[in-house]
Amino acid sequence: MNSRPDLTGRLISVVGRRVSAANEDWRGRWLSYLPTVAFLVLATIAAVTSDAFLSQGNLSNLFRQIVTNGLVSLGMLTVILSAGIDLSVGSIVALAGIVAAGLLNILPWPLAIPLAVGVAMIAGGINGTLVAGFRLPPFVATLATMSAIRGFVYVVSETPITPTDMTFGRIVASSVGPVPTPAIFMICCFMVVSLFLSRTTMGRAIYAIGGNEEAVRLSGINVRAHIMLAYLISGLFAGLAGVILASRVGIAQPSVGSGLELDAIAACVIGGASLAGGRGSVRGTFAGVLLLGLISNLLNLYNVQAYYQQIFKGALIVLAVLARRREG
């Protein structure tokens, strides 16, 4: 006699779970577009309230400024997907810039630039070895290397270095129409990493490690090798960012890149990446980079003190985490 109520109860439970899953799926898709929507809203407000915003000079400057954070954020995303973190990226940016500027004074740029990026990748490899090989917590390992690499940069040069060969600098300063060459290079990097993470076995393994490292290990995948790869990629893009930044401004300073790791983490989190690993997208990170760059640009146009930019970044991180706290 109680079979019908039991059946009804199970039916209600099943329907309830499906409705809940549908709501979570809809919410996740809506949140993934939120950074892009916020960017478009702010850009529209800026275009209406500021005559200088849509000028070619300002837009070109905006795209040049986001290149450094864009490349660093791309490497940071790869590490975050593996459930790691890389606090040393700012120091690696400074290291690559100093090495590149010094080598450009004795070597042609086709040799100097790859060597500088290679040094940055060695720094990333050290991070990977500490995390994957010695099983140190990523926060502790990269905090230590952040300090050590920054100290090494000052040992190499306590004063800024100005490269004598400005050939690469002129390439970085060039544009294709209204779009700066470094911005085009950054977009190509985003496209390549997007394909790598979504279409290759190694990229999908990095996602899986962040989701459940033990399950990936039991499936026979070399977890340590893929974690090492993630930190090498982070070092690669931090190195490219450092070289491009030094070439763009025409001087390499040992103090450059301080706090850049926070901007990169902010872009990834705003774009939907989970600091627990296993979730995030290149598209979302790109939207986060654009949003942060736009906010900085607007505050500069409105003559707002730079300190307020840090307040906005912190608030955006909190809002992004709160918005996704029930997701997944």
pLDDT digits (tens, 9 = 90+) for 251-305: 999 999 998 999 999 999 989 899 999 999 999 999 999 999 998 898 888 888 8
Note the pLDDT of residue 18.
42
> What are the sequence ranges of the domains in the chain?
65-283
pTM of the model: 0.89
pLDDT digits (tens, 9 = 90+) for 119-149: 999 999 999 999 999 999 999 999 999 999 9
Q: What is the mean pLDDT of residues 171-197?
A: 93
The phi and psi torsions of 138 (rounded to 5 degrees) equal -55, -40
Higher pLDDT, 6 or 95: 95
Q: Is residue 231 scored above 80 in pLDDT?
A: yes
* DSSP-assigned beta bridge partners for residue 175: 180
Higher pLDDT, 81 or 326: 81
What torsion, rounded to 10 degrees, do the Cα atoms 15, 20, 25, 27 define? Answer: 140
Question: What letter represents residue 74's amino acid?
Answer: L
Q: Is residue 176 scored above 70 in pLDDT?
A: yes
Residues 6+ apart with CB under 8 A from 299: 306, 308, 309, 312
